[in-house]
């Protein structure tokens, strides 16, 4: 019979993965205004070991009560920066040694599973309505998209961020021996 892990066992399992994770991950939230989306992104970021989040444009801060309701305190586990112009956030990430990749549907974008995440990467996700701005798309080091086979054109921004974070970690962990 399969049983769920006890909290102590979950902490031990997570500690094992954390010890075997070297690449830094960060995010830029460009004008993500939905507080529940922001809270969800912070929760996923904390789960995948994101080092920092730059808020850009008119992004809602995680201190918003509705964002906090979804984040469930995880905003305290990730360093985050008050909103700045989006290009300033991209520059800050590059200055900190990150390769900056936007998650967006463009003609030049590569499928997410073909993007090179085996280094320090900062992912950019854009607003719920318009995605990443043209200026940000011109400033980033690359663009990738999430392949879809259904009849829906895009993912919710918080879901897209979680998928991209999971893929970034999966690529790094795929080279590890079985843990």
In a domain? residue 36: yes
Per-residue pLDDT reduced to its tens digit, 141-156 = 999 999 999 988 889 9
In a domain? residue 5: no
Tokens representing 109? 């974008």
| Its pTM surpasses 0.85 | yes
In a domain? residue 52: yes
d(CA 164, CA 77): 19
CATH of the domain at 169: 3.40.1280.10
Average pLDDT value over all residues in the chain: 94
* Whether the Cβ atoms of residue 179 and residue 17 lie closer than 8 Å to each other: yes
Spatial CA neighbour of 49 closest among 66, 68, 74, 30: 74
d(CA 167, CA 161): 10
The pLDDT, as a whole number, for residue 179 is 65
Q: For residue 121, what are the domain limits?
A: 24-173
Tokens representing 41? 């992104």
Tell me what the mean pLDDT of segment 17-45 comes to: 95
d(CA 160, CA 88): 23
In a domain? residue 6: no
In a domain? residue 2: no
Query: How many domains in the chain?
Result: 1
> What 8-state DSSP symbol labels residue 150?
S
In a domain? residue 17: no
């Amino acid at each position: 019979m399969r049983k769920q892990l006890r909290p102590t066992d979950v902490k031990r399992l997570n500690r094992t993965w954390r010890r075997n994770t070297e690449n830094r991950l960060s995010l830029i939230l460009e004008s993500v205004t939905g507080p529940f989306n922001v809270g969800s992104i912070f929760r996923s970021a904390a789960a995948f070991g994101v080092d920092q989040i730059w808020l850009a444009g008119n992004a809602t801060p995680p201190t918003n009560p509705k964002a906090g309701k979804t984040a469930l305190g995880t905003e305290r586990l990730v360093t985050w920066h008050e909103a700045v112009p989006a290009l300033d956030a991209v520059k800050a990430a590059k200055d900190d040694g990150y390769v900056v990749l936007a998650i967006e549907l463009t003609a030049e974008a590569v499928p997410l599973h073909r993007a090179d995440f085996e280094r320090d990467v900062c992912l950019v996700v854009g607003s719920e309505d318009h995605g990443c701005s043209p200026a940000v798309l011109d400033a980033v080091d690359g663009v990738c998209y999430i392949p879809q086979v259904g009849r829906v054109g895009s993912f919710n921004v918080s879901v897209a961020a979680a998928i991209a974070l999971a893929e970034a970690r999966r690529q790094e962990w795929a080279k590890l021996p079985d843990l």
